Chain A
Amino acid sequence: MRRLFALLVCLASAAAAADKPDGLDFFEKKIRPVLATQCYSCHTGKSAAGGLHIDSADGMRGVVTAGDPEKSALIHAIRRDGNLKMPPSAALPADEVGDFEAWVKMGAPDPRTAAAPPPYDYGKAKNFWSFQTVKDPAPPKVADPAWSKTAIDRFIKAKLDEKKLTPAGVASRRALIRRATFDLTGLPPTPGEVDAFVADVAPNAYDKLIDRLLASPQYGERWGRHWLDLVRYADTAGDNADFPVPDAYRYRNWVIRAFNDDKPYDQFVREQIAGDLLDKGDRAATGYLAIARRFGSGGAEFHLTIDDTIDNLGKTMLGLSVACARCHDHKFDPIPSRDYYALYGIFQSTTYPFPGTELYPHAKDFAALDPKNAARLKAYQDETSDLDHRIRDLQDGKQGKDLSKEDREKEVWRLKERMAVLEHDAPNIAKIYAVSEGTPADAKIQIKGDPYHKGDLVPRGFLTVLGGATLPADEKGSGRRELAQWIVESPSFARVMVNRIWQYHFGKGIVGTPNDFGARGDAPVNAELLDWLASRFRESGYSIKAMHRLVMKTRAYQLASEHSDPDARLDPKNEFQWRFDRRRLDAEEIRDAMLAVAGDLDREMGGPHPFPPEVKFRYTQHTQFFAIYDTRKRSVYLMEQRIKRHPMLEVFDGADPNATTPKRGSEETSLQALTMLNSAFVDEQADLLAVRVGMAFSPDAERIRYAYRLVYGRSPSPAEIAECAQFLAQTSVAMKKSNLPADRQPRATLASLMHVLLASDEFVFVD
């Protein structure tokens, strides 16, 4: 098991020297394995037997005298030639004792330094920027106040001046509406919207644009998707068979609606952790906890699901890699293992819904959408689930040991018949994939993350460095309600979210590592601005839409994406925002934008996926669940699986459904190019676009003009019209040599042009 635990250890792998000296090699080969298997179980951690910590060089100093085995208590203990005989259960083989002697003789070389529990100096730790309370700095004074449209600009301009950078000019109206529309809705503006905005000379035209976009239902689909990236949303469980979770969509839709309703961010977070326990809370919101990953074939590895919960909660809501403290005290941030298990207890006291697995295919512990049906749902799920277990136990011989083989088979048969009856009359009750209160209990530390190797009991509570609150004595529940409040009150709660909002608007955060505000993360590029934004966020009552307005009305947001040689030399990564960064559309935007310009987009909100009926779920690791469900709805409504990704989302760097994705990749690959050139999807959209354009106008020039307006949001130049017209002429001649029927050739010719436009840079990049 040693390796398994080592594997789970989250500490940074020391980049060891290429060739270890022989002594260290000897230690690794001969000594460490014995220590780990024979000694660590008692001689590690806070309750190490006899106060002897054998998992570090320091800890062993008292029992090893380098170079002299005879003076080393350890050697006498394993030789068993004194009072102390170790290991207590059985003597080590003689060759292993010999190895230890040889190792002490060579000077006891030991690479395991600094493994003793780091006694954090919390007083000092709290001086670290992200553990300090948010300040409200005044915007700096700048030499050119006219440049700044808003207070944010003054923070930006002060840095630009300091770095001697000259900001770019302002983007064109066309560029601006395309930028803002993709940014807030993930869709391109229509030609009509572009024309109206370009023609609107009112001073508040841009403000009206932002208001209109924020009010559209597509806004929640775009920004809800950002949140779904963070919480690694998926429609399947991720166990060995990847069971579908048909009710997960309710959480997805809850997120989308929350963004559209501008639900205050603190409430948004509270409900996801404790929506079932709050006076004003939606139980569906706790789908956030329910969608944690499942592991294995039976459900025995549930500690990994809790770990996945803590990992996600730490990174997403606190910007801290809390889960590193599962196996050991955090190496870089002041998070001891105790703190991890203080949180662990809260989730261990929570009942997660069981989506079914290979061994136990029936779901359990779901909530009924209508509380009136709760009892009926529970009765059905409890009995089917119980039958699963009884059948399995009989088949494995864990039950019915006193029965004859025949009687056992008969009993299995009887239970299966009962199951068939139940399934036949399965109640049709709308369910929620949500958590509920379990049996409240504190958790014990799992030594080195091993759930079968328990240490001290830790009272449920919060991270010490963030206040270390514990549950009130009279709390009868899991503690999720308190946890939600502790999170909301933690110093970087607002910082983490405003940084994300900034990042989604500008392509990079003020803190470059949005999920890590700890010692290993980046420091903020502009700490004052970050705190100023966090202050405004709180002041607004945690209104995310208010933050969009604040950010988008800046000059910084409205800068052109043009290049400048002198600026690029000083700040090649544009860290200080002397221009707006051009970006490639993400996977969902590419698909949705194609559907939109082709007139093929179904703008209705998505509902449940067309999964097979639940009584048919008999997936195993040999016959896993795999499906792709076609839809013309927006990509946020595509069914996403954990063990196989949707091809379009995978090719264009979609979110990882297994782990939080704080930032999308934007790598250009040849498989993307192949998708653009040859995929049935792009082909179909090009064809539909050709029909749309071809039906609206008849001369080629007008068709080209309309296509440019739809696809690029601008009119073509005469030279561009000529170039496209020439392409149509040449292609229509070439079509004659194809085996397409003559009456299909004009449409195919026009589709060919549309295909090129959809594949082009101008479509997939936003200035």
Chain B
Amino acid sequence: MKNCNCSRRQVVRSLFTGSMLFPAVMQRLLAESSDPLAPHAPHFPAKAKRVIFMYMPGGVSHVDSFDYKPKLIEAAEKGLATNGKSYVKPLWEFKPRGQSGTMISDLFPNIAASIDDICLVRSMRGDHNDHFQATLGIHTGSVTTARPSIGSWVSYGLGTENQNLPSFVVLAPKMPYCGSQVWSSDFLPGCHSGTLVSAGSDPVPNLTRRAPTQQIEDLELGLLARLNRKHQMSRAADPALAARMKTFETAYGMQMQMPEVLDLSKETDATLALYGLERGSTKGFAWQCLVARRLAERGVRFIELIDQGASENWDSHTDMRAHEPLARNVDRPIAGLLKDLKSRGMLEDTLVVWTTEFGRTPWADSPQGRSHHNLAFSSWMAGGGAKPGVVWGETDDLGVKAARDEVHVHDFHATILHLLGFDHTRLTFRYAGRDFRLTDVAGNVVKGLLA
């Protein structure tokens, strides 16, 4: 990057808001004007300070991965069927893992090895069986109309610790189902919208300096600050003007800091190996996971990692073997991220969430594939006050639906908010005459998931 230079940052800061030149009245106004991104305390003290939310689009098969169903294997081997559709045998062998001996398949061998750090939910349930609606549901709690994303709610509730980076960052190689509605702040203030960051030369739109040289940009910013200040002198006490001046400072900070976040050259070989990332590569989920850790270190509040996009994802209708390369892309990086966070002491206050929009049918769609199944799926959490080594809930013998301790998407959301210190019924926003919340009029905190 064009030198991340602290003294230059100070110069810019003083140009825009520095006490030497800035009218005292504006300083006060700026401080008083409630900055929606200023850090706020939650409702009660909590361990989790930030979230890394990993979303696998398309629908990961629970019965092939985290939900061991020996009766399903039997049924498939006997050639049993339901409604004319044969049961399909999971393709990957289940083995006991970790100290808990939790049965997990070889689809995710590395995640399985970290099972003692994970709080696994086998009784998830959503409200819709179509990708678009279920994806909207897992992100916003609504399966019909657009609503604020969970990341936006968290940003709204907690603000950010680093004004130079967005509070809610999304790393996604391609557009997911429902497009940018997945990370939209909807009726919450726009600053809580997710910012899409991609690999490459312009990771955030308009981040790359356009001025031909840094010196010219500094000259431009200097003149801009002087013109704005003069404009403001004759228009005292307008917080909007003060707020706008501050955004240029933040933009400048982001221009400096974001490339530094994405510059992995100082990461050691050992770290890269942990994630399974080749030096210089910006490809795959490994890159997303390592960047997530760097964003988390720098105080970004909510980091969402979307695997693949709306196509070529986990939606394995025709052949379950399609899960294999997808798993290979995410398994080691995710396990690497958990280990890396743990060794840096960050797993304590970082809540890692892994989910998909629904599971897949225990029976066949086409001979080798499975269809959408919202009645049961598996998700997990780790760190940030989630209880490690727990397996919560279970599905019936064939993995069709929750048989014990069902966790609805609303309950899952309520629990995530609880781990961040929020009573989900009180994290509300008044819009169009009523108080809205992430969990609508439902949701119960699943106490068994709390450490």
Q: List the interface of chain A (C-beta within 8 A of B).
A: 3-4, 6-16, 18, 28-29, 240, 242, 293, 295-297, 301, 304, 308, 315, 321, 324, 332, 513, 515-516, 518, 520-521, 561-563, 565, 568, 582, 584, 621-624, 626, 641, 643-645, 647, 650, 653, 656, 658-659, 665-680, 683, 723-724, 727, 730-731, 734-735, 737-740, 748, 752-753, 755-757, 759-762, 764-765, 767
Taking the complex as formed, is B81 at the interface, i.e. its CB lies under 8 A from any CB of chain A? no
B207 at the A/B interface (Cβ < 8 Å)?
yes
CB of A727 within 8 A of CB of B219, answer: yes
> Which parts of B123-152 form the interface with A (CB within 8 Å)?
127-128, 130-133, 141-146
Across the interface, do B442 and A240 meet the contact criterion of CB distance under 8 Å?
Answer: no
CA distance A731 to B215 in the complex (A): 8
Q: List 21 A-B contacts (CB under 8 A).
A: A12-B435, A18-B43, A240-B177, A296-B130, A516-B432, A521-B433, A562-B235, A563-B237, A624-B310, A644-B180, A659-B146, A666-B240, A668-B243, A668-B247, A670-B166, A671-B204, A679-B210, A680-B210, A731-B216, A734-B216, A760-B228
From A667, A723, A748, give the contact of B189 (CB < 8 A). A667
Is B62 interfacial (CB 8 A cutoff)? no
Q: How long is the Cα–Cα vector from A670 to B255 in the complex, in angstroms? A: 10
With both beta carbons as reference points, the residue of chain B lying nearest to A33 in the complex is identified as B406
B190 and A15 contact, CB distance less than 8 A:
no
Given contacts A7-B143, A674-B206, A756-B220, 11 further A-B contacts (CB under 8 A): A7-B144, A10-B434, A12-B434, A296-B133, A659-B187, A668-B243, A673-B251, A677-B210, A679-B206, A734-B219, A760-B228
A688 vs chain B, min Cβ distance (A): 15
Give the contact-size bracket for chain B: 35 or more
B92 at the interface (CB under 8 A from A): no
CB distance from A254 to the nearest CB of B (A): 26
User: Does B231 belong to the interface (CB within 8 Å)?
Assistant: yes
Whether the Cβ atoms of B310 and A623 lie closer than 8 Å is yes
> From A665, which residue of chain B is reached at the shortest CB distance?
B190
Of the stretches B102-110, B113-121, B274-282, B422-430, the one at the interface is: B422-430
Give the complex CA separation of A369 and B71 in angstroms: 62
Q: How far is the CA of A659 from the CA of B146 in the complex (A)?
A: 9
B173 shortest CB reach to chain A, Å: 15
Are A677 and B219 in touch, CB under 8 angstroms?
Answer: no
Contact B224 A756 (CB under 8 A): yes
- Binding site secondary structure of chain A: loop
Give the nearest-CB partner of B409 in chain A: A3
Per the 8 Å Cβ criterion, residues 148-200 of B in contact with A are 166, 175, 177-181, 186-187, 189-191, 195
Pair A315/B130 contact, Cβ less than 8 Å: no
| A563 CB contact (under 8 Å) in B130, B190, B207, B236 | B236
- Collect the chain A residues with CB atoms within 8 Å of residue B261's CB: none
Give the Cβ gap from B412 to chain A, nearest Cβ, in Å: 12
Q: Compute how far the CA of A667 lies from the CA of B192 in the bound complex, rounded to whole angstroms.
A: 11
Identify the closest chain A residue to B209 (Cβ). Answer: A678
Residue on B nearest A397 in the bound complex, by CB:
B84
Residue in A3, A724, A752 with the greatest tally of chain B CB atoms within 10 Å: A3
Question: Are B251 and A622 in touch, CB under 8 angstroms?
Answer: no
B179 touches A3 (CB 8 A): no
- Nearest CB on A from B231, distance (A): 5
Q: Across the interface, do A3 and B444 meet the contact criterion of CB distance under 8 Å?
A: no
Rounded to whole angstroms, the CA-CA distance of A324 and B216 in the bound complex is: 55
Residue B4 is within 8 A (CB to CB) of chain A in the complex: no
Bound-state CA distance A675–B244 (Å) is 13
Q: Which residues in window 203-237 of B have CB below 8 A to A?
A: 204-213, 215-217, 219-220, 223-224, 226-228, 231-232, 235-237
CB distance A761 to B244 under 8 Å? yes
Residues of chain A within 8 A (CB-CB) of B235 are 561-563, 582, 767
Which one of B177, B205, B216, B426 contacts A738 once the chains associate, using CB atoms below 8 Å? B216
Which residues of chain B have C-beta atoms less than 8 A from A659's C-beta? 145-146, 187
